[in-house]
């Protein structure tokens, strides 16, 4: 029913456009709401600097699109779906916000996507990891932009096996996210001819990883994979570095690790870790130029999430400019039809399930000898093509895909 | 010289005074209810419902902390249990009407409350707080692991459904008045409990437990009952919250939530009826206003500062201090 209504509205909207109606933008304002963790665990990877990245995209448009003013509002979601949903409801129902950007904690993104669908507004998820956001939780009203757990497991595992890491030991955070990563990694490792010789589950969160790391070391596996996130990953890496895991010839593979985490760990502790990233600031002239601009404003180098927030906002504004509309379905349709080519992604495209697929990269953290400056942290080992990296649509549980 | 005093006169004067007092209370309550009835037309209803849910949670907590003197550090477990149970039942059984789902959530939280109470009530002070904290952490880990809660992603898309199968709660105003009705009913219930003989015994236990024992009261039984009522109301708050927001998340089960309700009660004024309501309104508002503004990086330090300030300088909380002021200057 709602689906029908949406199709109808978008049909009407496009019919109007063909008629040459200029500026079908409500209140003659494009309002973007930036919602992210501004004070908690995820502050560094998106947070206030993500807002700076978003504002850079608005600046590129001179603060105006098709004569309509671009306004940005922002709020802290405190990593709580309650706070997020009451904020977003108010934004959509009372304040006429057209786009919700940012969105980091998975629980927040899923809660917000339900509200977006109810109000038929658009949201772009840049910070969340859960691949369920465009799988069983997909809606016609949100786009998942930067990365998700599927390419993290898939990319890292298949690439590392191909690089010669045949036997694996997986250290898993004992909750749904960790279990999902563990099963994804196991599947990919076995499909590529590798073998998982042991798994170990640790409680979430764990401050002391000594006993787990010792068992991983004693297993003699080529690769020790960390199927956890945030503080657990950094704690595990610190402990692994104290026990000299990478120095003794084992490869440490982190499945979810951000540039800011590596920066905080330092190359001494993090050297040699392999990970998958959607973007790195020091890849080419274009990324470096943008990162310099970003650094001028914030004093740090951008993570892939920061770059994704900038890129997705830019693509959104371009779509608004091209369609002359702020209607969610019209804009989303245009975004889906237009390949993404900017400093963040080359030939990126948005699929029917809302997943933006683009090339991912297998990176290795540099050694102290290789690292020339504070933020000179990764070397890119290989590019993982978009189609290999992301979950194929044929495996999708998203109803939007089957209806296509 | 001395005038003969007629005992009937004294009786009448007391009655008249009591009547005047009652009338004043009634007037105040009427004004409050009138404000609450009009509020959704002025303010955003979902935000108001959030305040009401947390206010109910704080009222429940205050019954135990403010009136019985038992500091539970595990009330998040009841909030979450109510929310998850209601959310799960409403999502799985489309035939279930909303009020039955809420009732079931409350019931499960009540049973859990009884289990907590029986295990923790034998200890006092900090040990009691630690036992409740430990038990609520067990509950937290259960919810982290259970597939039905959606783990850290949370439980989403809980249908609001229809009240008694008739009134659609999808409408924010209908939902608001339902939450308001439940809230007022619970508030009145707590008021009755506190002013009943049972409530007097609870106060006696708070002030001097050995004396209450020596007077022949079965202190443990009173404590267990107070704990169970408190857990039931906390569960009800969680159930309502899950229906209002259409989601239930791990945040509700986390010990931060147990801490937050202590903050609300202390800031509002523990041991007063209205205190937790004012405290919840205050904390939810401060969080919301700060998270929108330039100070959003500082929400937690500011709330922490307010907590320290309250404990050091305004130990009676907002309502307690106002009452003291009124008594000193106008009484």
Q: What is the pLDDT of residues B300-319, one digit of tens each?
A: 888 899 999 998 998 899 99
- The continuous run of DSSP H or E covering B179 comes out as helix B172-195
Facing residue for A110 by CB, picked from B141, B153, B250: B153
| Structure tokens belonging to residue B121 | 């009530």
CB distance B296–A80 less than 8 Å? no
B329 reaches A (C-beta below 8 A): no
Q: B115 to chain A nearest CA, in Å? A: 25
What is residue A7's predicted lDDT score, i.e. its pLDDT? Answer: 54
Length of chain A: 404
Q: What is the pLDDT of residues B50-92, one digit of tens each?
A: 999 999 999 999 999 999 999 999 999 999 999 999 999 999 9
CB distance A176–B147 less than 8 Å? yes
Locus of tokens 């009913």: B185
- What are residue A173's DSSP bridge partners? A202
B305 reaches A (C-beta below 8 A): no
Superfamily of domain A2-12+24-147+285-354: Response regulator (3.40.50.2300)
Is residue B307 a contact partner of residue B266, using CB atoms and an 8 Å limit? yes
Facing residue for B152 by CB, picked from A76, A86, A107: A107
Facing residue for A81 by CB, picked from B145, B154, B290: B154
Q: A176 to chain B nearest CA, in Å? A: 6
CB distance A176–B47 less than 8 Å? no
Is residue B237 a contact partner of residue B79, using CB atoms and an 8 Å limit? yes
- The continuous run of DSSP H or E covering A384 comes out as strand A378-384
Return d(Cα B98, Cα B87) in angstroms, integer.
Answer: 10
CB distance A78–B151 less than 8 Å? no
CB distance B291–A76 less than 8 Å? yes
CA proximity to B68, closest of B124, B110, B133: B124
Domain boundaries of chain A, sorted by first residue: 2-12+24-147+285-354, 150-277+359-387
What chain B residue is nearest to A95 in terms of C-alpha separation? B44
What chain B residue is nearest to A114 in terms of C-alpha separation? B157
Q: What one-character DSSP code corresponds to residue A223? A: E
Chain center to CA of B88: 23
Chain center to CA of B289: 22
CB distance B247–A76 less than 8 Å? no
What is residue B163's predicted lDDT score, i.e. its pLDDT? Answer: 87
What is residue A21's predicted lDDT score, i.e. its pLDDT? Answer: 40
CB distance A81–B292 less than 8 Å? no
Q: A162 to chain B nearest CA, in Å? A: 32
B32 reaches A (C-beta below 8 A): no
Facing residue for B152 by CB, picked from A38, A86, A176: A176
B302 reaches A (C-beta below 8 A): no
Facing residue for B44 by CB, picked from A77, A90, A175: A90
Locus of tokens 């279930």: B96
Chain center to CA of B156: 24
Residue B33: count of CB within 10 angstroms of its CB? 12
Q: Residues of B with CB below 8 A from A232's CB? A: none
Facing residue for A83 by CB, picked from B157, B250, B291: B291
Going by C-beta distance under 8 Å and a sequence separation of 6 or more, which residues neighbour residue A356? A143, A144, A145, A146, A312, A340, A345, A348, A349, A350
User: Which three-class secondary structure string do you get for A241-273?
Assistant: HHCCCCCCCCEEEECCCCHHHHHHHCHHHHCCC
Per-residue pLDDT tens listing for chain B (331 residues): 566 677 788 888 888 888 887 888 788 888 889 999 999 998 888 899 999 999 999 999 999 999 999 999 999 999 999 999 999 999 998 888 999 999 999 999 999 999 999 999 988 889 999 999 999 999 999 998 888 988 888 898 898 888 888 888 888 899 999 999 999 999 999 999 999 999 999 999 999 999 999 999 999 999 999 999 999 999 999 999 999 999 999 989 999 999 999 999 999 998 899 999 999 999 999 988 887 777 777 888 888 999 999 989 988 999 999 988 888 887 6
A78 reaches B (C-beta below 8 A): yes
Half-sphere exposure of B110 (CA within 13 A, CB side): 11
Most B CBs within 10 Å, among A86, A118, A182, to test the B interface: A86
Measured in degrees and rounded to the nearest 5, phi and psi for residue A147 equal -165, 170
A2 reaches B (C-beta below 8 A): no
What is residue A8's predicted lDDT score, i.e. its pLDDT? Answer: 55
What chain B residue is nearest to A93 in terms of C-alpha separation? B44
Q: What is the pLDDT of residues A187-238, one digit of tens each?
A: 999 999 999 999 999 987 788 999 999 999 999 999 999 998 888 899 999 9
Q: What is the pLDDT of residues A274-324, one digit of tens each?
A: 999 999 999 999 999 999 999 999 999 999 999 999 999 999 999 999 999
B294 reaches A (C-beta below 8 A): no
For chains A and B, CB pairs below 8 A equal 101
Q: At what angle do helices B299-313 and B255-268 cross, to 10 degrees?
A: 50
Facing residue for A48 by CB, picked from B46, B251, B297: B297
Q: B144 to chain A nearest CA, in Å? A: 6
CB-count exposure of residue B34 (10 Å: 0-12, 13-18, 19+): exposed
A31 reaches B (C-beta below 8 A): no
DSSP string, B18-42: HHHHHHHHHHHHHHHHHHHHHHHHH
CB distance A85–B145 less than 8 Å? no
Model-level ipTM above the cut of 0.85:
no
Q: B52 to chain A nearest CA, in Å? A: 14
Return d(Cα B38, Cα A324) in angstroms, integer.
Answer: 40
Measured in degrees and rounded to the nearest 5, phi and psi for residue A85 equal -70, -35
Q: B24 to chain A nearest CA, in Å? A: 36
Return d(Cα B57, Cα A270) in angstroms, integer.
Answer: 45
- What are residue B168's DSSP bridge partners? B162
Q: Residues of B with CB below 8 A from A106's CB? A: 152-153
CA proximity to B280, closest of B262, B298, B293, B297: B262
Q: What is the pLDDT of residues A141-192, one digit of tens each?
A: 999 999 998 998 888 888 889 888 899 999 998 877 888 889 889 999 999 9
CB distance B287–A83 less than 8 Å? yes
Q: A344 to chain B nearest CA, in Å? A: 27
What chain A residue is nearest to B150 in terms of C-alpha separation? A176
Q: What is the pLDDT of residues A232-288, one digit of tens each?
A: 899 999 999 999 888 888 989 998 899 999 999 999 999 989 999 999 999 999 999
Q: What one-character DSSP code corresponds to residue A355? A: B
CB-count exposure of residue A302 (10 Å: 0-12, 13-18, 19+): buried
DSSP string, A27-47: GGEEEEEEEE-SSSTTTTTSH
What chain A residue is nearest to B285 in terms of C-alpha separation? A83
H helices of A259-359, where? 259-265, 267-270, 285-298, 304-323, 328-337
What chain A residue is nearest to B291 in terms of C-alpha separation? A76
* Residues B71, B74, B76: CA angle, nearest 5 degrees: 125
User: Which three-class secondary structure string do you get for B62-118?
Assistant: HHHHCCCCCCCCCCHHHHHHHHHHHHHHHHHCCCCCHHHHHHHHHHHHHHHHHHHHH
Answering whether pTM is above 0.90, one says no
- Conformational region of residue A62, where left means phi above 0, alpha means psi within -120 to 50, and beta covers everything else: left
Is residue A166 a contact partner of residue A194, using CB atoms and an 8 Å limit? yes
Q: Residues of B with CB below 8 A from A176's CB? A: 144, 147, 150-153
* Confidence band for A40, pLDDT divided at 50, 70 and 90: confident
CB distance A39–B47 less than 8 Å? no
Residue B183: count of CB within 10 angstroms of its CB? 22
CB distance A111–B247 less than 8 Å? yes
Q: Residues of B with CB below 8 A from A87's CB? A: 288, 291-292
Is residue A381 a contact partner of residue A159, using CB atoms and an 8 Å limit? yes
* Confidence band for A350, pLDDT divided at 50, 70 and 90: very high
Q: Residues of chain A with pLDDT > 70: what percent?
A: 94
Return d(Cα B169, Cα B155) in angstroms, integer.
Answer: 19
Return d(Cα B49, Cα B43) in angstroms, integer.
Answer: 11
Fold for the domain defined by A150-277+359-387: Rossmann fold (3.40.50)
Chain center to CA of A137: 16
| Structure tokens belonging to residue B110 | 């009540």
- For residue A205, say if its preceding peptide bond is cis, omega within 30 degrees of 0: yes
A198 reaches B (C-beta below 8 A): no
The CA-atom distances, in angstroms, between A19 and each of A10, B45, B139 are 14, 40, 60
B130 reaches A (C-beta below 8 A): no
Q: What is the pLDDT of residues A89-99, one digit of tens each?
A: 989 988 899 99
A137 reaches B (C-beta below 8 A): yes
Is residue A277 a contact partner of residue A378, using CB atoms and an 8 Å limit? yes
CB distance A86–B144 less than 8 Å? no
A2-12+24-147+285-354 and A150-277+359-387: identical CATH topology: yes
What is residue A27's predicted lDDT score, i.e. its pLDDT? Answer: 85
SS3 assignment, position A382: strand
B250 reaches A (C-beta below 8 A): yes
Q: Residues of B with CB below 8 A from A82's CB? A: 50, 241, 245, 247, 249, 251-252
Q: Residues of A with CB below 8 A from B291's CB? A: 38, 75-78, 83, 87
Q: Is the pLDDT of residue A75 over 70?
A: yes
């Amino acid at each position: 029913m709602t689906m029908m209504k949406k199709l109808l509205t978008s049909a009407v909207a496009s019919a109007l456009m063909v008629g040459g109606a200029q500026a079908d933008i409500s209140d003659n304002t494009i309002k973007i709401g930036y919602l992210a963790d501004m004070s908690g665990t995820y502050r560094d990877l998106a947070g206030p600097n993500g807002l700076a990245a978003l504002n850079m995209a608005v600046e590129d448009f001179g603060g105006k699109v098709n004569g309509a003013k671009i306004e940005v509002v922002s709020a802290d979601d405190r990593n709580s779906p309650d706070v997020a949903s009451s904020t977003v409801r108010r934004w959509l129902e009372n304040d006429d916000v057209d786009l919700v950007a940012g969105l980091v904690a998975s629980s927040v993104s899923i809660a917000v996507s339900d509200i977006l669908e109810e109000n038929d507004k658009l949201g772009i998820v840049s910070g969340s990891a859960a691949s369920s956001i465009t799988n069983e939780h997909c809606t016609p009203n949100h786009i998942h932009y930067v990365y998700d757990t599927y390419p993290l497991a898939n990319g890292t595992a298949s690439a590392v096996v191909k690089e010669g890491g045949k036997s694996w030991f997986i250290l898993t955070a004992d909750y749904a996210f960790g279990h999902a990563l563990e099963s994804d990694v196991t599947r990919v490792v076995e499909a590529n001819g590798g073998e998982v010789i042991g798994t170990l589950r640790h409680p979430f969160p764990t401050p002391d990883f000594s006993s787990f790391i010792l068992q991983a070391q004693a297993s003699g596996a080529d690769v020790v994979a960390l199927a956890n996130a945030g503080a657990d990953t950094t704690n595990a890496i610190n402990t692994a570095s104290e026990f000299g895991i990478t120095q003794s010839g084992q490869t440490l593979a982190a499945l979810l690790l951000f540039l800011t985490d590596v920066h905080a760990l330092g190359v001494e502790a993090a050297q040699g870790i392999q990970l998958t990233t959607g973007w790195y600031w020091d890849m080419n002239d274009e990324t470096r130029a943008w990162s310099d601009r970003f650094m001028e404003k914030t004093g740090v180098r951008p993570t892939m999430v920061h770059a994704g927030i900038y890129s997705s906002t830019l693509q959104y504004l371009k779509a608004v400019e091209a369609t002359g509309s702020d209607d969610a379905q019209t804009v989303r349709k245009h975004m889906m039809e237009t390949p993404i080519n900017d400093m963040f992604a080359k030939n990126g495209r948005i699929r029917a399930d809302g997943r933006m697929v683009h090339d991912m990269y297998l990176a290795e953290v540099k050694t102290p000898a290789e690292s020339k400056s504070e933020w000179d942290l990764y070397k890119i080992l290989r590019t993982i093509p978009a189609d290999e990296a992301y979950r194929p649509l044929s495996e999708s549980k998203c109803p939007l895909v089957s209806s296509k | 010289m001395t005038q003969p005093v007629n005992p009937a006169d004294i009786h009448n004067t007391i009655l008249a005074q009591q009547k005047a007092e009652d009338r004043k209370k009634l007037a105040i309550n009427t004004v409050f209810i009138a404000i609450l009835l009009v509020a959704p037309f002025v303010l955003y209803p979902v935000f108001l419902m959030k305040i009401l849910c947390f206010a109910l949670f704080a009222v429940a907590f205050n019954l135990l902390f403010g009136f019985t003197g038992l500091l539970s550090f595990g009330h998040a477990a009841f909030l979450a249990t109510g929310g998850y149970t209601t959310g799960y039942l409403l999502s799985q059984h489309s035939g279930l009407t909303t009020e039955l789902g809420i009732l079931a959530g409350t019931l499960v939280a009540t049973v859990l409350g009884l289990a907590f109470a029986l295990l923790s009530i034998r200890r006092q002070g900090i040990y009691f707080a630690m036992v409740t904290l430990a038990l609520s952490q067990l509950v937290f880990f259960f919810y982290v692991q259970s597939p039905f809660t959606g783990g850290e992603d949370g439980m989403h898309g809980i249908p609001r459904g229809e009240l008694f199968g008739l009134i659609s709660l999808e409408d924010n105003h209908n939902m608001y008045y339902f939450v308001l009705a439940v809230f007022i009913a619970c508030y009145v219930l707590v008021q009755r409990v506190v002013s009943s003989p049972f409530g007097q015994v609870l106060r006696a236990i708070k002030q001097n437990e050995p004396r209450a024992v020596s007077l022949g009261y079965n202190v443990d039984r009173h404590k267990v009952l107070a704990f169970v009522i408190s857990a039931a109301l906390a569960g009800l708050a969680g159930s309502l919250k899950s229906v209002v927001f259409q989601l239930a998340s791990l945040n509700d089960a986390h010990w931060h939530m147990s801490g937050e309700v202590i903050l609300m009660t202390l800031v509002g004024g523990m041991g007063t009826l209205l205190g937790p309501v004012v405290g919840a309104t205050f904390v939810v508002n401060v969080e919301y206003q700060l998270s929108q503004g330039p100070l959003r990086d500082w929400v937690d330090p500011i709330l922490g500062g307010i907590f320290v300030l309250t404990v050091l300088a305004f130990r009676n909380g907002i309502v307690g201090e106002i009452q003291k002021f009124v008594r000193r200057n106008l009484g």
